[in-house]
Amino acid sequence: MPEITLRECQKTVDAWVRTIGVRYYSELTNTAVLMEEVGEVARLMARLYGDQSFKQSDEAVSLADEMADVLFVLVCIANQTGIDLTAAFHQNMAKKTARDKDRHANNPKLK
Protein backbone atom coordinates (compact mmCIF):
# COMPACT_ATOMS: atom_id res chain seq x y z
CA MET A 1 0.00 0.00 0.00
CA PRO A 2 1.46 3.39 -0.96
CA GLU A 3 2.38 5.90 1.73
CA ILE A 4 0.15 8.93 2.10
CA THR A 5 1.03 12.37 3.40
CA LEU A 6 -1.12 14.22 5.91
CA ARG A 7 -2.10 16.65 3.16
CA GLU A 8 -3.16 13.76 0.90
CA CYS A 9 -5.05 12.24 3.83
CA GLN A 10 -6.94 15.50 4.32
CA LYS A 11 -7.84 15.62 0.61
CA THR A 12 -8.93 11.96 0.58
CA VAL A 13 -11.16 12.39 3.62
CA ASP A 14 -12.66 15.57 2.17
CA ALA A 15 -13.47 13.83 -1.12
CA TRP A 16 -15.02 10.89 0.73
CA VAL A 17 -17.13 13.09 3.00
CA ARG A 18 -18.42 15.16 0.07
CA THR A 19 -19.39 12.10 -1.98
CA ILE A 20 -20.06 9.04 0.19
CA GLY A 21 -20.70 10.90 3.43
CA VAL A 22 -22.82 13.60 1.73
CA ARG A 23 -21.52 16.39 4.04
CA TYR A 24 -19.53 16.96 7.20
CA TYR A 25 -21.27 16.63 10.55
CA SER A 26 -21.12 19.84 12.55
CA GLU A 27 -17.84 20.58 14.29
CA LEU A 28 -19.46 19.96 17.67
CA THR A 29 -20.89 16.61 16.54
CA ASN A 30 -17.51 15.58 15.15
CA THR A 31 -15.88 16.54 18.44
CA ALA A 32 -18.29 14.22 20.26
CA VAL A 33 -17.65 11.48 17.69
CA LEU A 34 -13.88 11.95 18.20
CA MET A 35 -14.34 11.41 21.94
CA GLU A 36 -16.36 8.25 21.23
CA GLU A 37 -13.64 6.91 18.95
CA VAL A 38 -10.86 7.72 21.45
CA GLY A 39 -12.93 5.88 24.06
CA GLU A 40 -13.02 2.82 21.82
CA VAL A 41 -9.22 2.93 21.54
CA ALA A 42 -8.96 3.25 25.33
CA ARG A 43 -11.33 0.33 25.85
CA LEU A 44 -9.28 -1.88 23.55
CA MET A 45 -5.97 -0.80 25.10
CA ALA A 46 -7.32 -1.72 28.55
CA ARG A 47 -8.02 -5.21 27.25
CA LEU A 48 -4.90 -5.71 25.14
CA TYR A 49 -2.34 -4.14 27.48
CA GLY A 50 -4.20 -3.63 30.75
CA ASP A 51 -5.94 -5.86 33.21
CA GLN A 52 -9.41 -6.04 31.71
CA SER A 53 -10.57 -9.17 29.93
CA PHE A 54 -12.28 -9.35 26.57
CA LYS A 55 -15.98 -9.93 26.13
CA GLN A 56 -16.87 -12.07 23.13
CA SER A 57 -18.18 -8.97 21.36
CA ASP A 58 -14.76 -7.26 21.76
CA GLU A 59 -12.55 -10.05 20.46
CA ALA A 60 -12.82 -9.19 16.77
CA VAL A 61 -12.04 -5.50 17.26
CA SER A 62 -8.81 -4.23 15.67
CA LEU A 63 -6.63 -1.63 17.38
CA ALA A 64 -5.39 -0.42 13.98
CA ASP A 65 -8.97 0.05 12.76
CA GLU A 66 -9.95 1.93 15.92
CA MET A 67 -6.91 4.23 15.60
CA ALA A 68 -7.81 4.86 11.96
CA ASP A 69 -11.31 5.87 13.08
CA VAL A 70 -9.73 8.44 15.44
CA LEU A 71 -7.53 9.74 12.62
CA PHE A 72 -10.48 10.00 10.22
CA VAL A 73 -12.57 12.11 12.59
CA LEU A 74 -9.58 14.26 13.58
CA VAL A 75 -8.92 14.91 9.89
CA CYS A 76 -12.60 15.82 9.42
CA ILE A 77 -12.33 18.41 12.20
CA ALA A 78 -9.10 19.79 10.73
CA ASN A 79 -10.73 20.10 7.32
CA GLN A 80 -13.79 21.83 8.77
CA THR A 81 -11.74 24.34 10.73
CA GLY A 82 -9.23 25.10 7.97
CA ILE A 83 -6.23 23.53 9.69
CA ASP A 84 -3.37 22.24 7.56
CA LEU A 85 -2.26 19.23 9.61
CA THR A 86 1.11 19.10 7.87
CA ALA A 87 1.97 22.64 8.93
CA ALA A 88 0.45 22.09 12.38
CA PHE A 89 2.51 18.93 12.88
CA HIS A 90 5.77 20.64 11.91
CA GLN A 91 5.02 23.59 14.20
CA ASN A 92 4.11 21.27 17.06
CA MET A 93 7.29 19.20 16.68
CA ALA A 94 9.39 22.38 16.67
CA LYS A 95 7.63 23.54 19.84
CA LYS A 96 8.15 20.19 21.57
CA THR A 97 11.80 20.05 20.52
CA ALA A 98 12.57 23.53 21.83
CA ARG A 99 10.64 22.98 25.05
CA ASP A 100 11.82 19.46 25.84
CA LYS A 101 15.35 19.29 24.40
CA ASP A 102 16.87 18.68 27.84
CA ARG A 103 13.85 17.82 29.94
CA HIS A 104 13.46 14.15 28.97
CA ALA A 105 17.21 13.46 28.82
CA ASN A 106 17.48 14.74 32.41
CA ASN A 107 14.50 12.80 33.71
CA PRO A 108 15.78 10.03 36.01
CA LYS A 109 12.50 8.14 35.57
CA LEU A 110 13.35 7.58 31.90
CA LYS A 111 16.84 6.17 32.46
- Asked whether residue 78 carries a pLDDT value surpassing 80, the answer given is yes
Whether residue 64 lies inside any domain: the answer is yes
Residue 55's pLDDT is 81
Domain count, the chain: 1
> Residue 22 maps to which CATH number?
1.10.287.1080
Angle between helices 63-81 and 6-19 (to 10 degrees): 80
Structural domain including 43 reads 6-84
What H or E segment, with its residue span, contains residue 88?
A: helix 85-100
- Residue 21 within a domain: yes
- Kindly report whether the global pTM for this prediction surpasses the value 0.85: yes
pLDDT tens column, 29-57? 999 999 999 999 999 999 999 998 888 87
Using an 8 Å Cβ cutoff, are 40 and 69 in contact?
A: yes
Residue 59 confidence (pLDDT) above 80:
no
Task: Give me the amino acid identity at 6.
Answer: L
